[in-house]
Structure 1
Amino acid sequence: MNNRDMNNAPLPPQVKKKGRKMRYVTLREEDRQLLLHLHSFIYLHRGFIEKYIFQTYENVDSVYRRLRTLEEAGYIKSFMLPISDFDHRPSKVYTLTMFGAEIVEQMRGVVHWNRRWTTQVPPWYQHQLMIAEIVKSYELKAETAGLEFKEWVTEARAFYEFRDINESKKNHNSRIRPDGILVIGKPNSDQNLGIMIEMERSYATREKTLRKMEQFNEFFSRKEELLPKYDKKVGFEHPVKAWKVLFIGSNDAKAKKILRDLKGEENHAEVSVMVTTRQEANMDPYGDIYRYLSDPETKRKM
């Protein structure tokens, strides 16, 4: 599809059915980036969009007007929601409509979208807002560290079930579902690192954390067999030669709890495991912020 087709996208079906007279919306590059970001993170709040996507707009009012135009044209949908546990004042949170998801499919050739995300906001929407902030931190600060942010793989793409045909469906260890995968490496290099992200909820139990570790161990214990299959399933844009798992706690106390929950797992871990906090990942993702299971008392670089 050429740029002319994208700029003059057809009116959404819901607009036609209501009989409204609306002009075609000319999609700007920032609009396309918004749709792609919403596909990657599902939900974004207005502050994120203003800071990272609609950067050329003069003021907040201009951002609101453009978002309202895109919403009225049927590309996006907004909800008034609290954006964090610490600030209960409602703010606008945006997501794709099904029409917006169709536009993303036209741009990318493939789309991973669930209609329910558009119609009803799930309890985990704040989790996605936090994931978006962290991924942006890794993306924007990579160059300063002499690295290149190659790709973000969404949870929908990263999910993988590798249960054998004769294996019981109750074996929950035969699947991995990270919150996403960061692919980072040197510029112009195929020697890239894949980091499976686990953003822990505030009240994650030890049982849940250990189960995730067991799933990663099961997967990486069969890496010679499974990684080539996983590469085809995910469709990585850049080759991944090394792997790590990163657990992110909401604060220092939660990060220390993750380390306590995983104590002893370093003796039979099949993959290198790091732990840090959300604040550290946002502030200095390429600095000495990571505690490894093999040396939990020392903070090191990735």
Structure 2
Amino acid sequence: MAKELYLTKRDQNFLEDLYDMTFLDVDYIQTVIYHTTSRPAIYRRLKKMEEEGYIVSTRLPLMDDNPSGRSKNIYTLDTKGWYEVQEIIGECEWDSRWTKVKAPSYVHHQTMLSMVKAAYQAKEGTYFRFKKWLNERRSYWEFSDNKKDVVRPDGSMILQHKEHEDGYGYFMFELERSRQRPEVSIKKLQRYNRYCKEQAWKKQHVFGVNLVDPPRIIWVSNRQNEMLKLIEHTKDVKTDYTSGILYTTYDQITNDPYGEIFFAKDSKDPMKQYGIADPIVKE
């Protein structure tokens, strides 16, 4: 008779992250969860968890310029995993529709977002460290009686100042779709500005820390040329009530998350690049 699987703290962290991110690949799992474990050993552990009904895997085609039929494993919660998360964090929601009949582009978008989170969680900046990540469900907020006044970032993050324990920065992420239309980006920024003008973040109760300043909006594009188009499309949108609008690419943010990799909207020098929490020098 096979021994029942004993879940370690790392296994529980993995299940909780699956609940938050919905889909994860082995790159995230090794970077954040089992970072001292070899990849073959990670695959063996994941296979055992799948056999026990905690997780389920599927093959996802790689979305690059020359995929040649290649694919990779993507993991999400199974029934037993959902019950385990419920015991870990208390009441939680899980809807199997979140993981069924999803377009590959959506799943890729989610796994790319998870690697943005992983970049900040696995490293520390000179002045800031990772504090908390909030997924799209927890970041969503209706900030007026008008149903159109809604912010729904792909995810949001809190960083803590390393020398001032009560100093926090709040960052909302938009992982840009490569074919996103300009009017969609413009309307998003307009809503973010109204959200900040109303100080709506102070009415949300998911942060667990005292946030004094409004959020900073981070746009992440797949490629440099897409980022430059986004900067041009959004340059005239009024965003005075936010803490700033930053633009970068996926490769830059995953390789050097705390570096000077961001162009800033309304910067006096449009070619100057900033760190994620740097003051923006304006006219």
Residue aligned with 2:131, SS: strand
Larger radius of gyration: 1
Q: Which amino acid aligns with 1:97?
A: D
Output one character per residue of 1:127-158: Cα deviation in whole Å (capped at 9) or x when no partner.
1111111111112222x423221100111100
Residue pairs, 1:199-218, within 5 angstroms: 199-218=175-194
2:266 corresponds to 1:294: yes
Shift of 1:112: 4.2
Extract structure 1 runs of 4+ deviating beyond 4 A. none
CA 60–293 in structure 1, closer or farther in 2 if over 3 Å, else same: closer
Aligned to 2:27: 47
1:259 maps to which of 206, 227, 231: 231
Structure in which a larger fraction of residues adopt helix: 1
- Give the equivalent residue in structure 2 for 1:245: 217
Q: For structure 2, which runs of at least 5 residues remain unmatched after alignment?
A: 277-283
CA shift for structure 1 position 25: 1.8
Task: Give me the whole-angstrom Cα distance separating, in 2, the residues matched to 1:301 and 1:133.
Answer: 18
**Deviation at 1:244?**
0.6
Checking the alignment, whether the CA contact within 8 Å between 1:41 and 1:128 is kept in structure 2 is yes
Unaligned 5+ runs, structure 1 = 1-20
Instruction: Identify the residue that residue 75 of structure 1 maps to in structure 2.
Output: 54
- Other structure's SS at 1:145 match: coil
Distance (Å, rounded) in 2 between the aligned partners of 1:109 and 1:99? 15
Asked if residue 228 in structure 1 is aligned to residue 202 in structure 2, the reply is yes
Q: CA deviation at 1:160?
A: 0.8
Alpha-carbon distance in 1 for matches of 2:260, 2:96:
41
Root-mean-square deviation over aligned CA pairs:
2.0
| AA of the residue aligned to 1:179 | D
Matched residue, 1:4: none
Judge conservation of contact 2:32–2:121 (CA < 8 Å) in 1: no
Alignment match of 2:241 (pick from 270, 289, 292): 270
Amino acid at match of 2:191: Q
TM-score, reference length from structure 2:
0.87
Identity level (%): 27
Q: Give the partner amino acid of 1:250.
A: N
CA 47–288 in structure 1, closer or farther in 2 if over 3 Å, else same: closer
User: Secondary structure, in 3 states, of the residue corresponding to 1:80?
Assistant: strand
- Tell me the equivalent position of 1:29: 9
